[in-house]
Structure 1
Amino acid sequence: MNRETTESPEPGAGELEASKVLLVTGAGSGIGRAVVQEALSAGYTVVLAGRREAELIEAAQGNTRALCVPTDVCDPTQVENLFRQAVEHFGRVDVLFNNAGMFGPFGSVDEISLADWNATLAVNLTGSMICAAEAMRTMKAQEPQGGRIINNGSISAHSPRPKSAAYTVSKHAISGLTKSIELDGRAFGISCGQIDIGNTATAIMADLGVNSGALQANGSLLVEPTFPVAEAAKTVLYMAGMPASANIGQLVVTAAGMPFVGRG
């Protein structure tokens, strides 16, 4: 079921002169939810996609510039419907934040099941490709033509955590997808960039043990620093707000002092 929210807050001082349409996958929780709320505060029109409708509605907070479309990003038919709903309601899609993802199985490559491997790549990589492909079709067809795709990578696109083969491979592959989209979209005014975030304070980071002791390359456990998820969201919006003449190809933002530089 698709649901448009019914209440609208007062416009803020930082509201955009012309509201850009931002589509966010994985919008019901974590970084996606924070981006939705930061974007609505900044005056964006936002399309929220995710598997759990109740979480999307809660994230939208009754804003009339928000449209909730329950979507499984691994299903091309549902993704096609997502973008069709966005265009029918708001006329276009200016920015896709390709954010839906999962950490996947914990274990070395010989310890994880093929089913868990396939499930992780299906969401993190194939789902991102499906959404990017539909965004490209939409942005090519709209007037004025063009737009921007921002892929949520990870610092694991640069250096892995121990026992994270499926997740790490999926995020390394996102880097290749980002560069391919940027190259293929140039003729149509479509830019693509990637944000690689390390240790923002979300549930997935808590599950990895960063607050109580995360596994390090030497086998020890270490409590790692985190930073507020709102700051990660502001960084995504900085990328989204670049003029059409500029693009951030890759941006890394981490908690200060976290074990990333020198990891391993």
Structure 2
Amino acid sequence: MNAMRTKIAIVTGAGSGIGRAVAVELLRTGWSVALAGRREDKLSETAAEAGATAGAGAGQAGGAGTAARAGAPEALCVRTDVSRPGDVDALLVAVRDRFGRLDLLFNNAGTFGPGGVPVEELDYAAWRHVVDTNLNGAFLCAQAAYRQMKEQDPHGGRIINNGSISAHTPRPHSVAYTATKHALTGLTKSLSLDGRPYGIAVGQIDIGNAATDMTERMPAGVLQANGQLTPEPVMDVADVARTVRHMAELPLEANVQFATVMATAMPYVGRG
């Protein structure tokens, strides 16, 4: 971290799970963080857990870049549906007005969609919701962050996409989630290539079985490719957060292109 300036991050899906854990880790280690999510009450809970000074919306600080220059970490809560272009634009305006620049986007917001539904029974509206959130939302946030990072002085920054183990290997009955996570890998590669001239580093973290609300069913048994229900181990979500912070705090001349962090004994290598 640069001791002369607090670094600025956006974390999407910051109201719970991995997003909350990463936001808390960054706030507690000196970053100012814009907490983006659909529920303001959950965003406020994240800020409180980190013990951070919290604000909401745009234009409530004393001019652009005030918090960044003062060196005091701050949480900015911005209600955001990442699938809505207007919400994403408003998020970046709020960050620019409050902090003056952006150093990191953790593109984390996502949904698994209806679980256990065979492909032939999956409703199109459910498919579309997963695609709009996981893929279109990631693109919209990355595009807006890219524009900010390209134009700011000094230019550059980092984008980290939350890919998931399912970016490599699917679970049964997860066609929408798996398709979007595979697509995120292509998004990561393309953004990484296009960002080179502007000092924009882009990487992806693929996470398996971190202990959150989304994985609370794992120890009780999860459907496997052979049709059996098998308990799966989980890991502390704080280990994920520390990995993201390591990626985030590298100099822009270095990049973790892809990282996999997972519960050691989960069925991934050899899944199915």
Name the TM-score, length of structure 1 as normaliser. Answer: 0.92
Q: Aligned to 1:246, which of 254, 257, 260?
A: 254
Paired with 2:84 and 2:153, the residues of 1 have a C-alpha distance of 27
Q: Which runs of 4+ in 1 moved over 4 A?
A: none
The answer to whether 1:261 aligns with 2:250 is no
Amino acid in the other structure paired with 1:214: V
Segments of 5+ residues of structure 2 without an aligned counterpart are 54-73
Structure 2 residue 75 is the aligned partner of structure 1 residue 66? yes
Q: Which amino acid aligns with 1:46?
A: V
**Structure-2 residue corresponding to 1:3:** none
Q: How does 1:175-186 map to 2 (within 5 A)?
A: 175-186=185-196
Task: Give the aligned partner of residue 232 of structure 1.
Answer: 240
Within 5 A, what are the aligned runs for 1:51-62?
51-61=38-48
The answer on 1:23 being equivalent to 2:36 is no
Matches within 5 A, 1:137-216: 137-206=147-216, 209-216=217-224
Distance in 2, matches of 1:91 and 1:185, equals 20
The answer on 1:81 being equivalent to 2:68 is no
What SS does structure 1 have at the residue aligned with 2:201?
strand
Q: Deviations over 1:134-153 (max 9, x none)?
A: 00011011110010000001
CA distance in 1, matches of 2:16, 2:84: 20
Tell me how many residue pairs correspond in the alignment: 248
1:91-127 CA distance string (max 9 Å, x none): 1010000000000122221121111001100000000
Query: How many Å apart are 1:256 and its aligned residue?
Result: 1.0
**Kept in 2: contact 1:105–1:166 (CA 8 A):** no
Q: Cα RMSD over matched residues?
A: 1.0
Which amino acid is the alignment partner of residue 155 of structure 1?
I
Whole-Å separation in 1 of the counterparts to 2:136 and 2:27: 28
Other structure's SS at 1:104 match: coil
**CA shift for structure 1 position 16:** 5.8
Identity of aligned pairs, percent? 55
CA displacement, residues 222-243 of structure 1 (integer Å, 9 cap, x when unaligned): 1100000111111111110111
Q: Match of 1:96?
A: 105
- TM-score where L is the length of structure 2: 0.89
Alignment counterpart, residue 134 of structure 1, candidates 129, 144, 152: 144
The answer to whether structure 1 residue 119 and structure 2 residue 126 are counterparts is no
Which residue of structure 2 lines up, in the alignment, with residue 41 of structure 1?
A: 28
SS at match of 2:192: helix
Give the Cα separation in 2 of the matches to 1:108 and 1:93.
41
